[in-house]
Structure 1
């Protein structure tokens, strides 16, 4: 063997040994994801972690009959189908769309609350509920809980379910006040005799409440959701020591008087950012939130965005820069 061949053989052996002991791949800390996480229109996302650890995400039906996606890491998503079919979809508003789903696990069932409305039908719209044994469905519709004209709250959409002290409650409302009412033990009907109560003013829709460190944080959205690149939607928050308020902003202004503090606003790439999902934690304890926005580079709908929720020294939530990230470190899974 000549010297050149010997040298090449030794180098090849050294490189092979190095690659075997130290694979040339980035560490978890170096991995990045880019927004949008899913570049199709998925407005008003809601998310749940199933008993096997898989995440399932649902959204307003720009994909007809309510789309379902699954993921194990919050970044890579698989389309699983829809919650309903044309034959099984709710029909209490025959020409209505299925908006702003809210997924929950109640008494061993996956319970999906939904809004049903035609655009501008603020007195005929309403909220219904469906159930399934599996997060992929099939979901069986249990019908409407109420319409706007039955509960006397105009624009009764954008519901959110929460449990507190063994009781079950539904919050809802869209720019006509945010309200709450108690549900039955199975979560499938209004509790007989329950009375609604107003929680926040007329600036808000898309309620989500998150309990942390002795506070209830009421996330909501303000502005216009659906005007493409001219959308002014923003995600805002107030907090309270009790579930039913009073909720106040950083300056102490009551949300009943339309006070709020900013969580996510626009930037040069994404506008109309709001209507958040539930907050979920990764294995490192980091908290993540999904929401929709409009990509000015490709404004074909309201695409799915993801960001890590951070908390300032006074305990107020925000995302870095108060606007969507273009790229960030992946969740830890």
Structure 2
């Protein structure tokens, strides 16, 4: 029997798409048309198609690095374009410094930086939320908000019009329970989707990190699972969990829509074949079923059809 090979119009890609340590990815399509991925560190990668990535440098010069948390690392950035400039929120912490860690903000005219640090927005012990890391920015109904949190509840508050400070008098509000960190909110149709991660992120192939989601018709919740259980009570739906090839998939990025209208999500995971590379960046397509985000088999793909741009 003759075997016939069919070639689709779409290309094929393989995971991971960033073959080096790139944890906690955040992505933006910049004004130059390219995509930029920022990760804990804060290293920057660039791509034209979400598949082929090259490292373009660091967000901060050595002299320009934030210094308000002595000895602190720069974790889990969140990149945005606000009022004509690139605005990056970042966590700064020493390991285990749950009271003194906090969130800062930096700006640049170019997506590849260098970024100018604008300083600390708050520390945990100043805002009353332990382990205040993992920032996420969103605009809704003309207002700007920041969400954050790790294992002590997901919280949010309003920012100033330029996004560079907390709005005076704004109160914080809790929207997620104590099982979660790494929040990201995506608006689609009438629903807001709160993506978070749970489990252990950083134990190499023993990592249990899992990406989960709930949805709400209001930015401030309540976010619920399919049965109506609240994320405030640590109830959720699983989006991505580990498999035989990748362990600990989590801390997802913003969702990017391609030319065909397909949605793509990035996250990090440990590759079983190459754990020494650290938490590499992976990409998968989201399929929407009954207004719920689904990844095929709820696990990372090894190969798949590529996005179209």
* Structure-2-length-normalised TM-score: 0.97
For residue 88 of structure 1, give the secondary structure of its aligned residue in structure 2. coil
Residue number in structure 1 paired with 2:20: 40
2:93 to 107, 117, 121: 117
Residue number in structure 1 paired with 2:9: 28
Cα deviations by residue, 1:103-150 (Å, 9 ceiling, x for unpaired): 000010100000000000000000000000010111000000000000
Q: How does 1:75-86 map to 2 (within 5 A)?
A: 75-86=51-62
Question: Matches of 1:167 and 1:142 in 2, distance apart?
Answer: 20
For residue 39 of structure 1, give the secondary structure of its aligned residue in structure 2. coil
* Greater alpha carbon shift after TM alignment, 44-53 vs 141-150: 44-53
Task: Give 1:219 shift.
Answer: 0.3
Question: Matches of 2:229 and 2:308 in 1, distance apart?
Answer: 37
Greater helix share, structure number: 1
Residue number in structure 2 paired with 1:164: 140
1:213 to 185, 189, 193: 189
Between Structure 1 and Structure 2, how many residues are aligned?
A: 303
Residue number in structure 2 paired with 1:304: 281
Residue number in structure 2 paired with 1:16: none
For residue 229 of structure 1, give the secondary structure of its aligned residue in structure 2. helix
Residue number in structure 2 paired with 1:147: 123
Residue number in structure 2 paired with 1:291: 267
Residue number in structure 1 paired with 2:35: 55
Question: Matches of 1:84 and 1:51 in 2, distance apart?
Answer: 20
Residue number in structure 1 paired with 2:3: none
Question: Matches of 2:141 and 2:189 in 1, distance apart?
Answer: 17
Q: Which runs of 5+ in 2 are unaligned?
A: 1-5
Question: Matches of 2:18 and 2:185 in 1, distance apart?
Answer: 24
For residue 98 of structure 2, give the secondary structure of its aligned residue in structure 1. coil
Cα deviations by residue, 1:212-232 (Å, 9 ceiling, x for unpaired): 110000000000000000000
* Structure-1-length-normalised TM-score: 0.90
* Higher CA-based Rg: 1
Residue number in structure 2 paired with 1:87: 63
Question: Matches of 2:114 and 2:15 in 1, distance apart?
Answer: 30
Cα deviations by residue, 1:26-50 (Å, 9 ceiling, x for unpaired): 6533x21100111101000000001
Task: Give 1:163 shift.
Answer: 0.5
Question: Matches of 1:149 and 1:113 in 2, distance apart?
Answer: 18
Task: Give 1:52 shift.
Answer: 2.4
Residue number in structure 2 paired with 1:22: none
Task: Give 1:99 shift.
Answer: 0.3
Structure 1 contact 290–306 (Cα < 8 Å) conserved: yes
Question: Matches of 2:74 and 2:294 in 1, distance apart?
Answer: 29
Question: Matches of 2:269 and 2:54 in 1, distance apart?
Answer: 20
Question: Matches of 1:192 and 1:38 in 2, distance apart?
Answer: 40
Residue number in structure 2 paired with 1:228: 204
